[in-house]
């Protein structure tokens, strides 16, 4: 057996070495350099060689890390196209007003964050002055994902250019009066300014990636040319720990999204302390992004460091910068020159010699102030490089100091995220540092003043001229006047009214059939955006593959294995379906981009995202809240819904609570339709409300959540009784009575009202028959299409009553005169139907599938949870027995008869 130690590295290479002698010469050269000039010089040469190879396009593994220096050297920086001194003054005003706004608000106890914008000011200002395209030029402009905690700086700039006034700044985080500013980027609260909610950390990065991807989708499908739109996402280095922040990095590189730039503010601090105390977050992020295929630009050091790098002829400085952990870099920011000389330079004899050539002021300038993210020319160079790079997205890692310019009490302190104000003396020091013409007398009664150079000042004129050249104000949200989409042909919906006869059809399939008809509509068909997370076949959607195509920027570069089949897997550059693979978070990000295209791009799109209902709200409810904040419109479809419907799948697949979670979202209209015609009616009404002519008082900025089931059942025809269509939309209507169901109860038979939603109505209908035939009880069956909408209507009625307006809740009006008690049942936990209990005048009780799901047949699961037809019968008899309308012994008899 060969000794492993005797194997040479070349022998471990699976590829044959066609010239071992040449290989040996290269290896000998490396050995010679290592021996003569040291290992650091050898490593330097190897790195430069690999970089050269990478630049030449040689097929080599990428370098995952580069030295801890700027990617773009000072000598290669482009000339800034503008007046740097003027931009310095503008930024100074914005820094001041951002800090003043938060400090003035602190007296109300409303909080706010100062340190984030202080560190990131130049990252934003450089973009606003030179790069970010507005919405008043051609196209849609750029899309800006602003870091949430930096919002005071964005408000300060809007104040400087006249879009906000002092009263609004003083109402930062105080919105109840109607003239305030939301804490963070919230489009629903400030819809003319903010486009994208970002402060639920981690959602900004994934949303930006899918927004850039959706821009390409719209272009490829010929809906709107967005080749000139660029997506900029401003993120924190600590935020990158969120799984959503990095989950879609490979999508961006795989699809070559060079219309996307991440700008990560690497101030080395998270909310409570260092991001990577014992490590280096910049290097970690560089490796992560490079490994994912991104172009990485590092902007770490300011021009003050140029002299130090010129003195570093041995590489000792670069080595030391690479080995010092982030927490120690943070410490240098707060210590004097003597400490830095000893701890940083004193660790290496070569660096100690270098330090002798540096004054204390020079050392403090470098270690306290000079960072790549604090100099406009460094940021400008990085942004230019990002836009010039083609074929891959770019991430800019900009190093800054958290709390920069706010004084020694803030800069790099672990607690600065929680520090909400500066003292008057600290503001005066800041004024002097920034060179602002604010007098001591302007501080009236210790209140820091806002600063403004004047509406006609050179600063404001310059700012507005720059923005005009770039297409208008930014950030900005615009809802361009768009004609309502025409309603699809009525026959697409009416075809469900006659029912399916004896054919069994699940409501999931009914929804898919409806969409197949709607996407064929000549006027609106192209507007539909089907989104599915790798479960299309589960939901019966494979028939859409060949007709609509699956979107891929590459098209289809292979022959699909099922090409000879009718429903083959078809990818296309102009494909309509977004099949995202196994990622609910990615699919939701897709949905958000599509659902807000009416505002972002002036193009109304109709997304529907169909998913395992258990893996929707439970997994991505935060994004659904983001969707509501962003005023998105569309249809979320929770398929394979219910706790007992998905046979055999078990606990983590059995959804018994998604309507309860959805009910917490004010923008979500939650429906649990039982029949195909109900699905059609709800979708029809949703298209009218969100994309057509909304009724007076209706908010079109909502989205619909429909639960649909995989349990095939014969679909009945829509009842011809008046009020059915209204009841479907409002949430409740009487499906039948005991008499209309063909039953013949006695004239004096006790009566009960059975309310069922979704698949549970079939159990109620069976119970209706058992109650009549075996117990002499007449039962009427109602379809409760939306417990949540019934509750919201009732709450609105309560609120109206407090205003002195008399209004009866719809649920009370619908049930008015209905005899007997009410028993409600669904395939969800009891709190779902119990939402309406307090507004039902009759005696009310409910059944539901509370607890964890389990693996078994549908019948066994329903018996386990006590929601099957027999359990409904027993519960109904118990209600009637309490009222004295049936014998108490009948309850025990029924339990025994049905084996309960």
Tell me what pLDDT residue 142 has.
Answer: 98
pLDDT exceeds cutoff 50 at 5 = no
What length is written for the chain? 900
User: Tokens for 781?
Assistant: 């069956």
Q: How confident is the model at residue 416 (pLDDT cuts 50, 70, 90)?
A: low
User: Tokens for 846?
Assistant: 């409910």
Q: How confident is the model at residue 43 (pLDDT cuts 50, 70, 90)?
A: confident
299 close to 398: Cβ distance less than 8 angstroms: yes
Beta strand 844-847 with 751-756 is unpaired
Tell me what pLDDT residue 9 has.
Answer: 44
User: Tokens for 417?
Assistant: 């995220």
Beta strand 822-825 with 844-847 is parallel
pLDDT exceeds cutoff 80 at 482 = no
Dist CA 126 CA 128 (whole Å)? 6
Dist CA 356 CA 422 (whole Å)? 37
Which helix or strand (DSSP H or E) is residue 298 part of? strand 295-299
Average pLDDT on 26-51 reads: 89
Q: What is the pTM of this model?
A: 0.94
Strand locations in 146-240 (E): 231-236
Q: How confident is the model at residue 8 (pLDDT cuts 50, 70, 90)?
A: very low
Strand order in the sheet with 778-783: 733-736, 778-783, 751-756, 822-825, 844-847
Q: Which residues contact 707 (CB under 8 A, 6 or more apart)?
A: 613, 638, 641, 642, 655, 658, 659, 670, 671, 672, 673, 758
Dist CA 512 CA 499 (whole Å)? 16
Going by C-alpha positions, the residue among 24, 46, 25, 22 that lies closest to residue 34 is: 46
pLDDT digits (tens, 9 = 90+) for 99-135: 999 999 988 888 788 889 999 999 999 999 999 999 9
> For the chain, what percent of residues have pLDDT higher than 70?
97
Q: Which residues pair with 298 in a beta bridge?
A: 397
70 close to 298: Cβ distance less than 8 angstroms: yes
595 close to 632: Cβ distance less than 8 angstroms: yes
Going by C-alpha positions, the residue among 301, 280, 284 that lies closest to residue 292 is: 284
Which helix or strand (DSSP H or E) is residue 504 part of? strand 504-505
Give helix 617-629 / helix 584-595 axis angle, nearest 10°.
Answer: 20
Average pLDDT on 150-156 reads: 97
Q: How confident is the model at residue 3 (pLDDT cuts 50, 70, 90)?
A: very low
Burial 530-561 (b: 16+ CB within 10 A, else e): bbbbebbebbbbbebbbebbbbbbeebeeeee
Mean residue pLDDT of the chain comes to 93
pLDDT digits (tens, 9 = 90+) for 592-612: 999 999 999 999 999 999 999
Dist CA 707 CA 759 (whole Å)? 10
pLDDT exceeds cutoff 60 at 2 = no
119 close to 267: Cβ distance less than 8 angstroms: yes
Phi and psi angles of residue 804, each rounded to the nearest 5 degrees, phi first: 90, 10
Choice among 53-57, 69-73, 144-148, 312-316 with the minimum mean pLDDT: 53-57
Dist CA 662 CA 656 (whole Å)? 12
- The conformational region for residue 233 under phi > 0 = left, psi -120 to 50 = alpha, else beta, is beta
């Amino acid at each position: 057996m060969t000794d492993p130690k005797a194997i040479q590295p070349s022998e471990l290479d699976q590829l044959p070495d066609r010239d071992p002698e040449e290989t040996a010469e290269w290896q000998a050269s490396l050995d010679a350099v290592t021996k003569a000039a040291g290992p650091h010089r050898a490593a330097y040469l190897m790195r430069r060689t690999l970089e050269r190879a990478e630049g030449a396009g040689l097929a080599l593994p990428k370098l995952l890390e580069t030295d801890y220096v700027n990617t773009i050297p000072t000598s290669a920086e482009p000339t800034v196209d503008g007046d740097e001194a003027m931009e310095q003054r503008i930024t100074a005003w914005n820094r001041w007003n951002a800090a003043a706004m938060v400090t003035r608000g602190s007296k109300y106890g409303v909080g706010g964050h100062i340190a984030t914008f202080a560190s990131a000011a130049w990252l934003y200002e450089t973009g606003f002055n030179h790069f970010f395209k507005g919405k008043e030029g051609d196209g849609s402009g750029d899309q800006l994902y602003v870091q949430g905690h930096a919002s005071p700086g964005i408000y300060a700039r809007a104040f400087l250019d006249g879009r906000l006034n002092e009263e609004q700044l003083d109402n930062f985080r105080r919105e109840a009066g109607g003239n305030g500013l939301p804490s963070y980027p919230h489009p629903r609260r400030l819809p003319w300014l903010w486009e994208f909610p970002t402060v639920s950390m981690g959602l900004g990065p994934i949303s930006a990636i899918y927004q850039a991807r959706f821009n390409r989708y719209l272009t490829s499908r010929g809906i709107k040319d967005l080749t000139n739109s660029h997506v900029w996402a401003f993120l924190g280095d600590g935020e990158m720990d969120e799984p959503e922040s990095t989950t879609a990095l490979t999508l961006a590189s795989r699809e070559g999204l060079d219309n996307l730039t991440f700008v990560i503010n690497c101030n080395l601090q998270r909310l409570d302390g260092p991001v990577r105390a014992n490590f280096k977050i910049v290097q970690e992020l560089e490796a992560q992004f490079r490994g994912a295929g991104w172009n990485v630009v590092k902007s770490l050091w300011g021009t003050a460091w140029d002299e130090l790098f010129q003195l570093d002829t041995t590489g000792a400085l670069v080595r030391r910068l690479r080995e010092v952990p982030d927490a120690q870099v943070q410490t240098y920011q707060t210590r004097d020159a003597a400490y830095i000389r000893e701890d940083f330079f004193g660790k290496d004899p070569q660096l100690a010699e270098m330090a002798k050539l540096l004054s204390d002021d020079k050392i403090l300038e470098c270690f306290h102030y000079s960072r790549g993210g604090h100099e406009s020319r460094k940021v400008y160079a990085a942004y230019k490089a990002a836009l010039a790079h083609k074929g891959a997205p770019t991430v800019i890692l900009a190093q800054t100091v958290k709390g920069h310019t706010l004084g020694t009490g803030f800069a790099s302190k672990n607690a600065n995220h929680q520090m909400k104000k500066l003292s008057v003396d600290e503001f005066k020091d800041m004024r002097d540092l920034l060179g602002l013409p604010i007098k001591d007398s302007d501080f009236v009664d210790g209140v820091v003043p806002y600063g403004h150079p004047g509406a006609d000042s050179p600063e404001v004129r310059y700012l507005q001229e720059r923005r005009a050249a770039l297409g208008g104000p930014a950030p900005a949200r615009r809802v361009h006047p768009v004609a309502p989409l025409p309603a699809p042909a009525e026959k697409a919906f009416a075809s469900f009214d006659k029912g399916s006869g004896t054919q069994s059809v699940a409501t999931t399939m009914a929804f898919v059939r409806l969409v197949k008809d709607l996407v064929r509509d000549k006027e609106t068909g192209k507007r539909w955006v089907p989104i599915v997370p790798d479960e299309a076949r589960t939901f019966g959607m494979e028939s859409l593959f060949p007709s609509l195509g699956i979107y891929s920027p590459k098209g289809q570069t292979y022959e699909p294995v099922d090409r000879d089949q009718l429903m083959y897997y078809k990818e296309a550059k102009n494909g309509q379906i977004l099949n995202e693979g196994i990622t609910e978070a990615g699919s939701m990000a897709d949905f958000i981009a599509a659902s807000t295209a009416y505002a972002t791009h002036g193009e109304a799109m109709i997304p529907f995202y169909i998913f395992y209902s258990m893996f929707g709200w439970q997994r991505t409810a935060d994004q659904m809240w983001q969707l509501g904040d962003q005023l998105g419109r569309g249809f979320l479809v929770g398929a394979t819904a219910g706790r007992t419907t998905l046979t055999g799948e078990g606990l983590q697949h059995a959804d018994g609570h998604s309507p309860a979670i959805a009910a917490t979202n004010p923008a979500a209209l939650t429906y649990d339709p039982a029949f195909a015609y109900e699905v059609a009616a709800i979708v029809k009404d949703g298209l009218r409300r969100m994309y057509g002519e909304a009724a007076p008082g209706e908010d079109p900025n909502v989205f619909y959540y429909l639960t649909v089931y995989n349990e095939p059942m014969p679909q009945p025809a829509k009842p011809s009784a008046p009020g059915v269509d209204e009841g479907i939309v409002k949430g409740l209507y009487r499906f039948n009575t005991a008499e209309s169901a063909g039953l013949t109860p006695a004239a004096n038979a006790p009566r009960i009202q059975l309310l069922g939603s979704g698949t549970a109505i079939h159990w109620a209908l069976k119970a209706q028959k058992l109650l009549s035939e075996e117990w002499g009880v007449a039962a009427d069956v109602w379809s409760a299409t939306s417990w949540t909408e019934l509750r919201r209507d009732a709450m609105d009625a309560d609120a109206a009553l407090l205003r002195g307006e008399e209004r009866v809740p719809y649920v009370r009006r619908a049930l008015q005169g209905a005899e007997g008690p009410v028993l409600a049942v669904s395939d969800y936990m009891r709190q779902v139907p119990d939402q309406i209990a307090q507004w039902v005048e009759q005696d009310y009780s409910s059944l539901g599938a509370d607890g964890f799901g389990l693996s078994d047949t549908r019948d066994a699961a329903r018996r386990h949870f006590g929601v099957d037809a027999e359990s409904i019968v027993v519960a109904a008899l118990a209600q009637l027995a309490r009222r004295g309308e049936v014998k108490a012994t009948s309850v025990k008899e029924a339990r025994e008869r049905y084996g309960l």
